[in-house]
């Protein structure tokens, strides 16, 4: 019953580009996608910048009528799912659909749809509310719609664990395949939260960068001058399969899933454990379950939000688990380029780990100019680094004290 699980496809809609190839090229070049907010008038907000997805047309992926009945986050998830299925050359019919499930995490679901509906209710009354409001704003709308579109009839649900949502979706999909409750899973995350209420809320919590005059340098993970994260949006979906299924259908295997660790800080609703203990336990748990040792990890995609506490505590957690090797393992925060995709962050960063292994290139942490004595590890500053990566770790830590760690390894016929 303890099946090996492999990744055979991935899809990405991100501020860097509208597919995995374009996104990867931008990451490898160290380009920032942060700019002025255009989704709404942010002139009265403390934060006026974000990492928006540009040029996305949902009609390229679905009927116009269907698109009108989906929030933007669901549209992103549908597009990324179809891309992933296409790369995996996965066809669902008959029994295949019965053995295929979907888990798509989201931090807040269709918040933009809800925000606009509240304005309509206030200005025009309850009779003008869209009859599709309920299914559009549900956090599980993405997983439900993808399941319907593909005919995937195994486990189908949404994980909501703040910024760890996408990573937890992938981790739970891994566990479902391992125990035999499905043979194939589509898993990842999606969020589209560049909305007035979201920016206002995170501004009130003093979590966002206010470097409005220099947007491309605003997201500064691990840098001494960091002043908060930048909100991004998008989706990433992985196709995950039991190894025997992938081999039987002749699928191209991109990587193998090695381990998943999830813990709680049980410390504070927004602040991380000040010693990084929860994150450290999640990393250790993922390693223990994978049978790998810290020295085998050749890249860490950090949570790296560019908030003062997160970056310091994550550094402490890595040191706790990796010891002296912490100073030699390459670490980067791709949030420096694409902002923080919130519930989709863990999913897109998992996909980036797979792409890093595929391309033997470690993406950089850009905007790293002023070293912080409390963040003194190798954050791959400013330029991508060539090098073979056979094992990669992705860290995701969320408000509420949620910690999720994913491990991927190079696929070999013998485990």
Q: Which residues are catalytic, by number?
A: 163, 303, 340
SS3 299: strand
Beta strands in 151-272 (DSSP E): 156-157, 184-191, 234-242, 255-264
Query: With contact defined as beta carbons under 8 Å apart, do 56 and 13 qualify?
Result: yes
Query: With contact defined as beta carbons under 8 Å apart, do 336 and 367 qualify?
Result: yes
Q: Is 98 exposed, middle or buried (0-12, 13-18, 19+ CB in 10 A)?
A: middle
Closest CA to 304 of 388, 377, 195: 377
The two tokens of residue 146 are 């993808």
Query: With contact defined as beta carbons under 8 Å apart, do 182 and 156 qualify?
Result: no
Element (H, E) at 112: helix 111-124
DSSP label at 371? Answer: B
Decide the pairing of beta strands 331-332 and 361-362.
unpaired
Query: With contact defined as beta carbons under 8 Å apart, do 315 and 223 qualify?
Result: no
The two tokens of residue 142 are 């993405």
CA 215/CA 243 separation, integer angstroms: 44
DSSP label at 105? Answer: E
Q: 292 CB contacts (<8 Å, ≥6 apart)?
A: 258, 259, 391, 407, 409
The two tokens of residue 158 are 């949404």
Sign of torsion over alpha carbons 114, 116, 118, 120: negative
């Amino acid at each position: 019953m303890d099946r090996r699980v492999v990744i055979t496809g991935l899809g990405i809609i991100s501020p860097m580009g509208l597919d995995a190839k374009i996104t990867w090229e931008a990451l490898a070049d160290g380009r920032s996608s942060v700019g002025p907010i255009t989704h709404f008038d942010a002139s009265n907000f403390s934060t006026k910048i974000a990492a928006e997805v540009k040029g996305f047309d949902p009609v390229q992926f679905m009927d116009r009528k269907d698109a009108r009945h989906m929030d933007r986050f669901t549209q992103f998830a549908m597009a990324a799912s179809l891309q992933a299925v296409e790369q995996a050359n996965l066809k669902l019919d008959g029994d295949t659909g019965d053995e295929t499930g979907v888990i798509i995490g989201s931090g807040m679901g269709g918040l933009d749809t809800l925000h606009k509906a509240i304005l309509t209710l206030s200005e025009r009354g309850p009779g003008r509310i869209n009859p599709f409001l309920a299914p559009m704003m549900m956090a599980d709308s993405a997983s439900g719609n993808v399941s319907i579109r593909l005919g995937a009839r195994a486990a189908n649900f949404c994980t909501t664990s703040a910024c760890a949502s996408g990573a937890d979706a992938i981790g739970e999909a891994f566990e479902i395949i391992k125990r035999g409750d499905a043979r194939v899973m589509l898993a990842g995350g999606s969020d589209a939260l560049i909305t007035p209420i979201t920016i206002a809320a995170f501004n009130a919590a003093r979590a966002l960068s206010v470097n409005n005059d220099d947007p491309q340098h605003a997201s500064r993970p691990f840098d001494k001058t960091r002043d908060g994260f930048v909100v991004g949006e998008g989706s990433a979906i992985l196709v995950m399969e039991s190894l025997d299924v992938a081999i039987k259908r002749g699928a191209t295997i991109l990587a193998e899933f090695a381990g998943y660790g999830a813990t709680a800080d049980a410390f504070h609703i927004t602040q991380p454990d000040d010693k990084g203990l929860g994150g450290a336990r999640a990393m250790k748990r993922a390693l223990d379950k994978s049978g790998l040792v810290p020295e085998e990890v050749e890249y860490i995609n950090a949570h790296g939000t560019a908030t003062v506490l997160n970056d310091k505590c994550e550094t402490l957690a890595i040191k706790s688990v990796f010891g002296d090797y912490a100073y030699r393992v390459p670490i980067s925060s791709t949030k420096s380029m694409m902002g923080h995709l919130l519930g989709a962050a863990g999913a897109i960063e998992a996909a980036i780990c797979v792409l890093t292994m595929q391309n033997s290139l470690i993406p950089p942490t850009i905007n790293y100019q002023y070293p912080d004595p409390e963040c003194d590890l190798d954050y791959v500053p400013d330029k991508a680094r060539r090098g073979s990566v056979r094992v990669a770790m992705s860290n995701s830590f969320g408000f509420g004290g949620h910690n999720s760690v994913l491990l991927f390894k190079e696929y070999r016929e013998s485990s």
